[in-house]
């Protein structure tokens, strides 16, 4: 791959826009439906330890911080009593909701009575803090309810969105409605204040839009989808305001023009990701081709001109977002963990409505590099910012005053299974290569998918589909953008294949067949787009989906003089005792022998410098 920013044209296809509520319940307006993580049991050497750490460590860290180290849960207790101070930042309620969502997802595949009891305790406190008119936000309840809904940047709808996502998740996990009913009352309260013939509102931090779509899908109430669409349409008409608390910056808030006319990413990176997710959801359900056109333009702008090799976005600290095209500094890179999670969310949605593997390529890049770097191997420390170079003073922390990233990871990690498989009318789609056993029902038949692989360390994948009758579906295996050579065999016999939009299509198979995909996984030396001036005369190392970096601890003798050349030879070695088991890359030339480790694993040993982009000489 010559550049890590690649232009790939796409063709879009959608199903019809009208259907009954029964159709919506099955999400049949989307072209492709992912197989839910609740039906996926991951069992591989790479992801299983991380999921175990999520249960044993990450969730407990979040609970401890929320209950004991900060005032987040106390804010709800005070709001219920109607007395006491509000501690922390005005949007801290959202951390409680995201941690609750993470608990709900954990309970789905790993039932735990004590964890469920803890969630129920929190939900009781949340319900008690809700006002009689349905409003819930501890900041305004404890400071001045008269000032609610006066500043569009005070994250009221952002917090409400995370409340809704948690309420839907907990209902799906346990069947308990208490938190879902709190969500419904808050959503109905907002709709009494805002909407057609009512007051205008532009959420300063997007999130409510995609959450309302989830509420619509669980309740089948059209009004929630309509409200999501109305909120999207509010942007770009001059309605944004911070009241008397500051000057509204339309570019920062994605409010410069109507969303259907957007061409370039602007402002805060995480807000952009949530906006694009909401647009994609609404576009799929309403067959809104203007939204789809805008999303295609935005995707090209993000991935071709504003994305790091790690799949991270947001190069600038001052606005936690973007500045100008190709401004991608390494040492000062912001690359918020939440933004990388947002890239996974958005690209997953785009794949579902297009069937194009290029979106999963970006999803995978962001997930294995930008997201995984955000959490320590021990599961108890977190990066908010993910630079591509460090002078030795950037480290993960136990928590943050603005703790969106730890709680974001707590809800993301248990849902990894969402991104592996999908189903459409004519195909079974295999998007990610993760060892697992998946069970689901299709047309009354019990289907079992088994995937065996040592990915991302090697490119060998074995897939078996078991069912009692012919599924009458082709199998589409994603061929990652990094893969130049591959073979596919059925029961050991190589088969001829066609390829479409990045998927190899297997037609002639039957239940019980062993389908093997073998992808060459050489070390790749990557160059940046020449317009990225920061990386002129530099190269980065990638192998499979993993971006690599050099740490000072492995290269202390000449770290500041690290140099790759055209004659450098690369050798890989799996080291089981290093960083929970990693495949290292040794780059050797006449001048040096450089050790590279996966970027996600840096800063898990002694403090030291790090860099992704290395000086290069022909």
Q: Compute the distance between CA of residue 165 and CA of residue 99 in angstroms, rounded to an integer.
A: 11
Instruction: Band the pLDDT of 444: cuts 50, 70, 90.
Output: confident
Say if CB 562 and CB 616 are below 8 A apart: no
HEC string of 81-134 equals: HCCCCCCCCCCCHHHHHHHHHHHHHHHHHCCCHHHHHHHHHHHHHHHHHCCCCC
Q: Compute the distance between CA of residue 266 and CA of residue 305 in angstroms, rounded to an integer.
A: 12
Is 342 or 23 the better-scoring residue by pLDDT?
342
Q: What is the pLDDT of residue 26?
A: 39
Q: Compute the distance between CA of residue 130 and CA of residue 532 in angstroms, rounded to an integer.
A: 49
Query: Lowest-pLDDT range, 22-31, 50-59, 424-433, 547-556?
Result: 22-31
* For residue 23, pLDDT beyond 80: no
State whether residue 440 is helix, strand or coil.
strand
Mean pLDDT of 417-427: 96
Q: What is the pLDDT of residue 322?
A: 97
pLDDT tens-digit profile of 35-56? 999 999 999 999 999 999 999 9
* For residue 9, pLDDT beyond 50: no
State whether residue 556 is helix, strand or coil.
coil
Q: Any idea where the domains of the chain sit in the sequence?
A: 69-240, 256-418, 422-517, 522-613
Task: Name the one residue in this structure whose structure tokens are 């081709």.
Answer: 289
Q: What is the CATH number of domain 256-418?
A: 1.50.10.20
Q: What is the pLDDT of residue 15?
A: 23
* R_g over Cα of the chain: 24
pLDDT tens-digit profile of 271-329? 999 999 999 999 999 999 999 999 999 999 999 999 999 999 999 999 999 999 999 99
Query: Mean of the per-residue pLDDT values for the chain?
Result: 94
* For residue 6, pLDDT beyond 80: no
* For residue 30, pLDDT beyond 70: no
Instruction: Band the pLDDT of 114: cuts 50, 70, 90.
Output: very high
HEC string of 407-438 equals: HHHHHHHHHHHHHCEEECCCEEEECCCCCEEE
Which residues participate in catalysis according to the annotation?
320, 404
Q: What is the pTM of this model?
A: 0.94
pLDDT tens-digit profile of 472-509? 999 999 999 999 999 999 999 998 889 999 999 999 89
* For residue 418, pLDDT beyond 80: yes
pLDDT tens-digit profile of 580-608? 999 999 999 998 999 999 999 999 999 99
* For residue 20, pLDDT beyond 60: no
* For residue 18, pLDDT beyond 60: no
Mean pLDDT of 234-263: 98
Q: What is the pLDDT of residue 10?
A: 27
pLDDT tens-digit profile of 123-169? 999 999 999 999 999 999 999 999 999 999 999 999 999 999 999 99
pLDDT tens-digit profile of 172-231? 999 999 999 999 999 999 999 999 999 999 999 999 999 999 999 999 999 999 999 999
Residue 406 tokens read as: 């730890």
Q: Compute the distance between CA of residue 143 and CA of residue 79 in angstroms, rounded to an integer.
A: 10
């Amino acid at each position: 791959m010559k550049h890590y920013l690649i232009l790939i044209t796409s063709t879009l296809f959608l199903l019809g826009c009208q259907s009954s509520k029964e159709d919506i319940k099955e999400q049949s307006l989307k072209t492709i439906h992912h197989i839910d993580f609740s039906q996926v049991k991951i069992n591989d050497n790479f992801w299983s330890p991380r999921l175990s750490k999520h249960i044993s460590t990450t969730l407990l860290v979040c609970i401890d911080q929320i209950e004991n180290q900060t005032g987040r849960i106390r804010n709800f207790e005070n709001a219920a009593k109607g007395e006491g101070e509000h501690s922390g930042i005005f949007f801290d309620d959202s951390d409680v909701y995201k941690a609750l969502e993470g608990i709900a997802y954990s309970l789905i595949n790993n039932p735990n009575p004590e964890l469920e009891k803890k969630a129920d305790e929190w939900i009781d406190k949340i319900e008690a803090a809700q006002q009689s008119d349905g409003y819930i936000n501890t900041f305004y309840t404890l400071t001045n309810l008269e000032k609610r809904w006066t500043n569009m940047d005070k994250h009221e709808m952002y917090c409400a969105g995370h409340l809704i996502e948690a309420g839907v998740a907990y209902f799906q996990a346990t069947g308990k409605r208490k938190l879902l009913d709190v969500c419904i009352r808050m959503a109905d309260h907002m709709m009494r204040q805002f909407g057609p013939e009512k007051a205008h509102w532009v959420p300063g931090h997007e999130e409510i839009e995609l959450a309302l779509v989830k509420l619509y899908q669980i309740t089948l109430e059209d009004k929630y989808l309509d409200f999501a669409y109305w909120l999207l349409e509010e942007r770009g008409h001059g309605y944004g305001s911070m009241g008397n608390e500051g000057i509204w910056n339309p570019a920062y808030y994605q409010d410069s023009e109507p969303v259907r006319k957007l061409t370039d990413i602007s402002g805060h990176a995480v807000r952009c990701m949530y906006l694009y997710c909401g647009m994609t959801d609404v576009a799929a359900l309403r067959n809104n081709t203007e939204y789809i056109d805008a999303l295609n333009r935005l995707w090209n702008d993000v991935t071709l001109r504003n994305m790091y090799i790690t799949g991270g976005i947001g190069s600038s600290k001052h606005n936690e977002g973007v500045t100008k095209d190709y401004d991608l500094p390494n040492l000062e890179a912001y690359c918020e963990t939440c933004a990388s999670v947002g890239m996974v969310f958005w690209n997953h949605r785009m794949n579902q409505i297009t069937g194009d593997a290029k979106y999963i390529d970006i999803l995978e890049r962001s997930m294995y590099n930008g997201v995984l770097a955000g959490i320590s191997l021990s599961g108890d420390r977190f990066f908010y910012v993910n630079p591509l170079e460090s002078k030795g003073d950037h480290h993960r922390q136990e928590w943050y005053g603005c703790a969106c990233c730890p709680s974001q990871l707590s809800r993301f990690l248990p849902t990894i299974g969402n991104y592996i498989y999908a189903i459409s009318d004519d195909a079974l789609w295999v998007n990610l290569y993760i060892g697992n056993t998946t069970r689901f029902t299709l047309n009354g038949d019990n289907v079992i998918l088994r995937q065996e692989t040592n990915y991302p360390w090697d490119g060998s994948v074995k897939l078996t589909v078991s069912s009692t009758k012919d599924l009458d579906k082709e199998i589409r295996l994603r061929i990652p953008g990094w893969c130049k050579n591959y073979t596919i065999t059925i029961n050991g016999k190589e088969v001829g294949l066609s390829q479409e939009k990045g998927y190899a299509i297997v037609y002639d198979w039957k239940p019980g067949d062993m389908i093997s995909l073998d992808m060459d996984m050489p070390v790749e030396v990557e160059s940046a787009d020449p317009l990225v001036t920061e990386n002129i005369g530099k190269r980065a190392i990638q192998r499979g989906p993993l971006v690599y970096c050099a740490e000072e601890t492995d290269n202390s003798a000449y770290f500041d003089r690290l140099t790759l050349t055209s004659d450098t030879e690369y050798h890989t070695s799996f080291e089981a005792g290093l960083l929970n088991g990693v495949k290292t890359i040794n780059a050797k030339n006449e001048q040096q022998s450089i050790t590279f480790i996966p970027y996600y694993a840096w800063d898990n040993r002694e403090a030291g410098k790090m860099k992704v982009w290395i000086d290069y000489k022909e």
